[in-house]
């Protein structure tokens, strides 16, 4: 994570299964799973990734009906509380039902290969709800004997396969800004394969899509730790699993390599590691540059006041309310619809409603245009995803507070000199006939 860049999102793993490789059976009961979802968010998760079927080697296949019976009550409860949810499934009908229940991410480890209907479901969800489709790389249910791990060049082959999967998803109708790629660590890949993919993550991010890293508690970590002395490889006493500390290290390194997100079981450990990585990156940034986002992408700026506080009180460190100098180059994103649970009234918190976001960021585009290089500009798909995550998070009373939260997220993107944010609340509970109500703010990094 270089100075000024957005901190990776943290996806907290919630397996509502009796047989997942790490925590199967622990959160199989619905009420316990719901409580765990809230706990993950409290520990720093931006998204709760809920799965109802294990894809570990030798796992018993689960019908979509049984899978949905496990996950839908949990998804419904968590999204009603304003928590961003991802559905981890290879079944199209489960993905569709999860989206209908409020999930805003579809995480398919097969990349749409297992179920031919998945891409169509993802396309409809992208078009109608702005749902993100996380495309994983695999060659089938993992084979512990690695009979299918026969790569000549694992990085090149996984990169090319993911490029083809992304192209297929876009051809089906998934918007480019709603695609995330996952190299599928552990899915027919040896530990050596996994480390090569991580060490050359830039080869995957060069495709122009956000990249998710899911190394948590994987066998590749255990293989490395096994080479240590028994006490050294036992892990931290704070973690439930000896691989959690190693997972947190991978999270920090993945942030430095440009990962969009990390999928982890031990959220608190990775949240701490990413906070330290963010502070390190901020210290390396040139004097006067905007500090790296130590808070999660989508979280309220650090130091935010309680819900309902005046807008001036919720601007985080590194946000200046003064007018910004003129910057001609701008990227504008308008009409971004997000369903969330903000509002003063209890029924607004319970039912939720539409919010429409307009965001304009000032950034020098000359280098990007000269080199035709995505890395030299703001990836508007990532900006949109970060804004959606920010709006979907913890409910607050005022759209003024939501606007401040979004501005804080936008200003964490490298090179952004100013953020102009408008939050519309078209379905606000106003008795008189009206077309719209909105607030607009202009913010820039502190000098």
Whole-angstrom distance, CA of residue 281 vs CA of residue 294: 9
Give the span between the Cα atoms of 59 and 34, in whole angstroms.
Answer: 24
Neighbour-count burial for 33-42, b at 16+ CB within 10 Å, e otherwise: bbebbebbbe
Q: What are phi and psi of 136, to 5 degrees?
A: -95, 155
Q: For residue 263, indicate whether it is catalytic.
A: yes
Is residue 224 helix, strand or coil? helix
Only one residue has tokens 């704070």, namely 238
Q: How far are the Cα atoms of 312, 362, 418 from residue 325, in angstroms, in the given order?
A: 20, 10, 9
Cα angle at 164 between 155 and 371, to 5 degrees? 75
Task: Report yes or no: 86 and 385 within 8 Å, Cβ to Cβ.
Answer: no
Q: Residue 34 has which token pair?
A: 């719901």
Q: How far apart are CA 153 and CA 447, in angstroms?
A: 46
Q: CA-based diameter of the chain, in Å?
A: 72
Catalytic residue among 104, 189, 218, 443: 218
What are the tokens at 219?
């066998």
Secondary structure of residue 39 in the 3-state scheme:
helix
Torsion of CA 237, 59, 134, 149, to 10 degrees: 90
Measured CA distances, 408 to 279, 336, 383, 412 (Å): 16, 17, 12, 7
Sequence-distant (6+) residues with CB within 8 A of 149 are 143, 188, 189, 190, 193
Residue 293: name the closest of 141, 193, 408, 200 by CA: 408
In this structure, what token pair is assigned to residue 217? Answer: 């508690």
Does 425 qualify as catalytic in the annotation? no
Catalytic residue among 263, 393, 420, 444: 263
* Sheet with 438-445, edge to edge strand ranges: 319-320, 438-445, 418-424, 353-362, 330-340
CA 277 to chain centre: 17
- The alpha carbon dihedral of 28, 29, 30, 36 has a sign of negative
Name the residues annotated as catalytic. 218, 263
């Amino acid at each position: 994570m270089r100075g000024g860049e957005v901190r990776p999102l943290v996806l907290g793993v919630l397996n509502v299964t009796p047989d997942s490789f790490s925590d199967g059976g622990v959160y199989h009961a619905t009420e316990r799973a719901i409580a765990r979802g809230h706990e993950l968010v409290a520990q720093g998760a931006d998204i709760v990734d809920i799965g109802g079927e294990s894809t570990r080697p030798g796992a018993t296949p689960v019908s979509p009906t049984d899978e949905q019976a496990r996950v839908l009550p949990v998804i419904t409860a968590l999204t009603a509380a304003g928590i961003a949810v991802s559905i981890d499934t290879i079944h199209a009908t489960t993905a569709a039902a999860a989206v209908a229940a409020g999930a805003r991410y579809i995480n398919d480890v097969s990349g749409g290969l297992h179920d031919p209907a998945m891409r169509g479901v993802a396309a409809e969800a992208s078009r109608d709800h702005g749902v993100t489709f996380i495309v994983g790389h695999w060659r089938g249910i993992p084979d512990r004997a690695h009979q299918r791990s026969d790569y000549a060049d694992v990085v090149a082959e996984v990169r090319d396969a993911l490029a083809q999967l992304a192209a297929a998803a876009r051809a089906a109708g998934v918007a480019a800004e709603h695609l995330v790629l996952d190299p599928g660590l552990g899915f027919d890949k040896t530990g050596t394969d996994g480390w090569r993919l991580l060490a050359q993550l830039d080869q995957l991010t060069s495709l122009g899509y956000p990249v998710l890293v899911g190394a948590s508690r994987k066998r590749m970590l255990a293989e490395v730790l096994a080479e240590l002395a028994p006490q050294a490889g036992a892990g931290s006493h704070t973690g439930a699993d000896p691989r959690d500390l190693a997972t947190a290290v991978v999270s920090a390194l993945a942030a430095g390599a440009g990962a969009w997100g990390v999928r982890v079981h031990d959220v608190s450990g990775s949240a701490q590691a990413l906070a330290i990585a963010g502070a390190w990156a901020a210290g390396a940034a040139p004097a006067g540059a905007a500090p790296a986002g130590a808070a999660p992408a989508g979280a309220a700026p650090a130091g935010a006041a309680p819900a309902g506080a005046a807008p001036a009180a919720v601007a985080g460190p590194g946000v200046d309310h003064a007018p910004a100098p003129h910057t001609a180059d701008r990227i504008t994103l308008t009409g971004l619809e997000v369903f969330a649970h903000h509002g003063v009234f209890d029924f607004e918190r319970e039912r939720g409603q539409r919010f429409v976001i307009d965001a304009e960021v000032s950034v020098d585009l000359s280098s990007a245009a000269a080199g035709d290089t995505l890395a030299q500009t703001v990836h508007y798909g990532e900006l949109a995803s970060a804004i959606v995550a920010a709006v979907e998070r913890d409910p607050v009373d005022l759209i003024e507070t939501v606007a401040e939260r979004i501005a804080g997220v936008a200003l964490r993107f490298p090179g952004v000199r100013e953020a102009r944010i408008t939050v519309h609340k078209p379905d606000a509970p106003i008795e008189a006939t009206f077309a719209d109500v909105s607030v607009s703010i202009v913010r820039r990094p502190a000098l």
